[in-house]
Amino acid sequence: MLKPGATIGILGGGQLGRMLSVAASRMGLKCHIYEPGAGAPAGHVAERVFTAPYEDEACLRAFAAGVDVITYEFENIPTSALDLLESLRPIRPGRRALAISQDRILEKSFLNEIGLTTAPWAQVDDAATLEAALAQIGAPSILKTTRLGYDGKGQARIMSEADAPEALAAMGGAAAVLEGFVNFSAEISVIAARGLDGAVACYDPGENVHKSGILHTTTVPARISPNLRSDAVLIAARILNALDYVGVLGVELFVTPEGLIVNEIAPRVHNSGHWTQAGCAVDQFEQHIRAIAGWPLGDGGRYADVEMLNLIGDDVDRVPEFAKAKNTQIHLYGKADAKPGRKMGHVNRVL
């Protein structure tokens, strides 16, 4: 159990790192941020920021030397940086979870291997494998790069076979995976945590609505049956245990007539868990810090109904309105420019 005064290193300086650092402060812990980009939002609320590329070995070493444990707020960190850091300090969650979540094919294979259902999928490397995949899965379906995709980027819909060449071109030569469309009535997500001692705790599943491929709202409780609620929690626990995971993990699930289908997993705190800041004594950020710091997991029991609304791009202009609203908690990320599609903040409304 890391003692007050210990320091956590966070790879990535965006809003998730920012909120992790704030949560760490509640445990009496300090945070150092490693972020290639200047003006990292997490740097405003951290003891120290290292601004350097992931290829800067000397800076990586200096960063590691000042911290007791390393975690990350996004999964696309170069392997060489992780190899170096791992030789110096523990990285939590571990490398396997990272490797799996960096590659859609590894992820889907892993999920299927542990008995979980995913959308039908097939690997696509070129026109021939795409044709074979389409023959197997059919259209409509969706072609995605296996790596570096998020928030709807690196994806192309295939409504009929005629769309295949354009979709393949959109992958830019990268390895891809064809996923069958899933006929789902809702998307939910479970934010789950596993401690260093192997204890597992899950937050109440939230119901997600996306807009233009980006999460728009998460509402708790999700409108699902008690059966599905426990299925969702059991799925998350199976993933955590199979990965010998330490930290918080987000699991996105589709609700279908045949039960729950795993959409994807994220080995980190997750946008769909931001509601926990308003509805739980211990939020997802603190739960993650507790896990990686060897603390007992906290009580994430929900004591309020909450709707989380993302502020994307110029949604942030609505802040003066939200600032006056009842039971409304604003979280801005300290980003300078409200570019289209950029996550500028979120709002938790206690219902």
Does 304 engage in binding with its own copies (CB under 8 A)? yes
Q: At what angle do helices 79-86 and 57-65 cross, to 10 degrees?
A: 40
Comparison of 1 and 169: residue with beta carbon closer to its own copies: 1
How far is 264 from 301, CA to CA, in rounded Å?
24
Q: Which of 126, 197, 299, 314 binds its own copies (CB under 8 A)?
A: 299
R_g of the chain, CA atoms, integer Å: 20
Q: Is 307 annotated as a binding residue?
A: no
Side chain identity at residue 81, one-letter code:
A
Residue among 6 and 88 whose Cβ is closer to its own copies: 6
| CA 339 to each of CA 18, 74, 161, 310: distance values in angstroms, whole numbers, following the listed order | 19, 20, 34, 14
Q: How many CB atoms lie within 10 A of CB 37?
A: 11
Residue 201 β-bridge partners: 193
Binding site annotation covers 151?
yes
Strands 69-72 and 7-11: parallel
Kindly indicate which of the ranges 15-23, 59-67, 89-97, 250-258 contains the residues binding its own copies, using the contact rule CB under 8 A: 15-23
The 39-78 contact track toward its own copies, x by CB under 8 A, reads: ----xxxxx-------------------------------
Would you give the distance in Å from CA 286 to the centre of its chain? 15
Of residues 253 and 306, the one with the C-beta less far from its own copies: 306
Q: Is 336 in the site for its own copies (CB under 8 A)?
A: yes
Minimum CB–partner distance for residue 275 and its own copies (Å): 12
Residue 75 and residue 101 in contact, taking contact as beta carbons nearer than 8 Å: yes
**Cβ nearer to its own copies, comparing 195 with 250:** 195
Residue of 141, 148, 152 whose CA lies nearest to 183: 141
Phi, psi of 43 (to 5 degrees): -65, -20
Closer residue to its own copies in complex, CB, 209/281: 281
Q: Any contact of residue 14 with its own copies (CB under 8 A)? A: no
User: Cβ closer to its own copies: 19 or 142?
Assistant: 19
**Residue 328 near its own copies by CB under 8 A:** yes
* 193 part of the interface to its own copies, by CB under 8 A: no
Per DSSP, the three-state class of 129 is: helix
Q: Which of residues 238-297 bind its own copies (CB under 8 A)?
A: 278, 281-282, 290, 295-296
Among 332, 340, 341, 343, interactor with its own copies by CB under 8 A: 332
- The answer on whether 252 is annotated among ligand-binding residues is no
Check binding of 298 to its own copies (CB under 8 A). yes
- State the sign of the Cα–Cα–Cα–Cα dihedral 134, 139, 141, 144: positive
Q: Taking Cα atoms as reference points, which of 18, 123, 65, 69 lies closest to residue 343?
A: 18
| C-beta closer to its own copies: residue 22 or 143 | 22
Rounded to whole angstroms, the Cα distance separating 1 from 199 reads: 14
Distances (CA, A) of 205 to 184, 225, 272, 273: 16, 11, 9, 9
Task: Give yes or no for a cis peptide into 4 (omega within 30° of 0).
Answer: no
**Rounded CA gap, 137 and 131, in Å?**
10
CB of 119 to its own copies, least distance (A): 37
The residue (of 42 and 171) whose beta carbon lies closer to its own copies is 42
Tokens for 250? 């987000």
Q: Which of 21, 145, 276, 310 binds its own copies (CB under 8 A)?
A: 21
> Would you count residue 28 as binding its own copies (CB under 8 A)?
yes
Bridge-based pairing of strands 206-211 and 214-220 is antiparallel
Rounded least distance, CB 234 to its own copies, Å: 22
165 binds its own copies (CB under 8 A): no
Residue ranges binding its own copies (CB under 8 A) = 1, 4-5, 18, 21-22, 25-31, 43-47, 278, 281-282, 290, 295-296, 298-299, 301, 303-304, 316, 320, 323-336, 345, 348-350
In the annotated binding site, the residues are 104, 144, 149-155, 179-182, 187, 210, 263-264
